[in-house]
Amino acid sequence: MIATRERGRSRLRQELPREAEPPRLLGSLARWLWLGVGVLALLLFFSLAGDDWFTIINYCLIAAIATLALNLLSGYTGQISLGLAFFMGLGGYTAAFLGGNPPQGALDPWGLGLPVFIWLPAAGLVAALVGALIGPSALRLRGFYLGIVTLALVFIGNYLFRNLSFITGGPQGRNFPVPAFGGFSLDQQNSILGIALTSGQQYFLLILVILLLSALFVYNLSRSRVGRAMRAVRDHEVGAAIMGVNLFEVKMGAFVLSSFLAGVAGALYVSYARYVIPDYWSLSLSIQFVAAIIIGGIADVWGSILGAAFVFALPQVIDYFSLLPPSTGGGGLSSGDLNALLYGLLIIVFLLFEPGGVIGLVRRLRPGRPRLQAAGASAAGAGADAATLKEGGESIEVVDLQQRASGPDEEQGRRRTGAS
């Protein structure tokens, strides 16, 4: 009987998966079909959209990269941060210093005129380096207190950006570099493989590639051992420490990676906008990104993209189609007021009724959502041979599972058998 139990346990260990992982990115036919529909819609948009639509979408894609950065720190690791605008500004002004034109006069801001292959990754690296310097002190705190420290970074950064005029241009702002690949500059129309592309289309291709790389990186990281450690720290720090997770290394790694992505997003933003003043990197920008991860979905790659679309693209679409009546007096509702009301309302609704955000609502309402099902032997068979447990579409075979009430005589018999 003991040998039978051992065989059943060994077989059970072989049947069970080593660990529970999130579903694969394209693990089913339905997902491949959705991918095909998305690629087709992308091609149609790329071929038919005008410059105004490319402006809206390009800003939305840049915001999605920054939302991924915040979700990596706050969503996956659970560290509250309101300092994303500071790291975006840091990346933007790094790009301006390294890629901007050399000064022509004494009052012109500095620039080294380096190519995009240098200033774009350097923007992320400088932001990550500053994050590594700030992280050891900031990450000693958590929760509300960590949020206050990162909030202070925004005000410190705003002061520095206003006064370091030799780099930032001062309160009036400065021009920023345009990505150029040899004689191929993205601020003018160019021809690729005989196809004439506008500036908006070229920026769209560049930003889309960087967004896809960032999304794949965050997604693969979330499925790795490091990602599981991040979620353990987010859910219960004491429990994670008991399991052997180095809390400081996990928090520090998330802080540095988040700063890097934010710096890259800031460099892309200033390059596309061409002119930015220091007041843009304000607290309201950081709050918009917090709203994006809450509305889209916390700790989810698709949630970050959907949240950026809701928070950053939807107001521009409303302005583009003039969905609001023009304000004729002091009592009219402006676009900015509508945005503030929309953010607040959506945050309250999703926190109360759907904490998983838009992506959580979509997954919960889709027909083939994961269900917990059990099928096996009949209840009358006390010695059921097998049962099948399905969760998320994967089957787990449970073999030789028995449950019975044991009396005092059986307990004493097992003790004597174990002693022998």
Q: What is the dihedral of CA 119, 268, 40, 25, to 10 degrees?
A: 80
Q: In angstroms, how far is the first alpha carbon of the chain from the final one? A: 15
Q: How confident is the model at residue 194 (pLDDT cuts 50, 70, 90)?
A: confident
CA-wise closest residue to 270 among 131, 202, 156, 175: 175
pLDDT value of residue 316: 87
Residue written as tokens 């710096």?
263
Question: What does the block give as tokens for 356?
Answer: 């998983």
Q: How confident is the model at residue 369 (pLDDT cuts 50, 70, 90)?
A: low
Backbone angles phi, psi at 184, to 5 degrees: -100, 100
Q: How far apart are alpha carbons 348 and 82 in whole angstroms?
A: 19
Q: What is the pLDDT of residues 259-287, one digit of tens each?
A: 999 999 999 999 999 999 999 999 999 99
* Pairing state between β 394-399 and 386-391: antiparallel
pLDDT value of residue 355: 86
Q: Which of 38-52, 205-219, 385-399 has the highest mean pLDDT?
A: 205-219
Q: How far apart are alpha carbons 61 and 292 in whole angstroms?
A: 13
Question: What residues contact 395, with CB distance under 8 A and at least 6 apart?
Answer: 388, 389
For the chain, give the number of residues: 420
Q: How far apart are alpha carbons 326 and 319 in whole angstroms?
A: 11
Beta pairing partners, 190: 197
Question: Is residue 311 within 8 Å of 341, Cβ to Cβ?
Answer: no
Statement: residue 16 has pLDDT above 70:
no
Per cent of the chain over pLDDT 70 is: 77
Question: Is residue 81 within 8 Å of 150, Cβ to Cβ?
Answer: yes
Question: Within a 10 A sphere around the Cβ of 372, how many other Cβ atoms?
Answer: 8
Question: Is residue 93 within 8 Å of 168, Cβ to Cβ?
Answer: yes
Q: How confident is the model at residue 327 (pLDDT cuts 50, 70, 90)?
A: low
DSSP one-letter code for 170: G
Q: Is the pTM of this model over 0.85?
A: no
Question: Is residue 348 within 8 Å of 342, Cβ to Cβ?
Answer: no
Q: What is the pLDDT of residues 39-96, one digit of tens each?
A: 899 999 998 988 999 999 999 999 999 999 999 999 999 999 999 999 999 999 999 9
Q: What is the pLDDT of residues 221-258, one digit of tens each?
A: 999 999 999 999 999 999 999 999 999 999 999 999 99
Q: How far apart are alpha carbons 250 and 296 in whole angstroms?
A: 24
Question: What does the block give as tokens for 296?
Answer: 């889209």
Question: What does the block give as tokens for 300?
Answer: 């989810």
Statement: residue 179 has pLDDT above 70:
yes
Q: How far apart are alpha carbons 220 and 273 in whole angstroms?
A: 31
**55-60, long-range: CB within 8 Å, 24+ apart, which pairs?**
55/200, 55/316, 56/313, 56/316, 56/317, 56/320, 57/204, 57/313, 58/200, 58/203, 58/204, 58/207, 58/272, 59/269, 59/272, 59/312, 59/313, 59/316, 60/308, 60/309, 60/312, 60/313
The H or E element that residue 275 is part of is: strand 275-276
Give me the sheet containing 394-399, strands edge to edge: 372-376, 386-391, 394-399
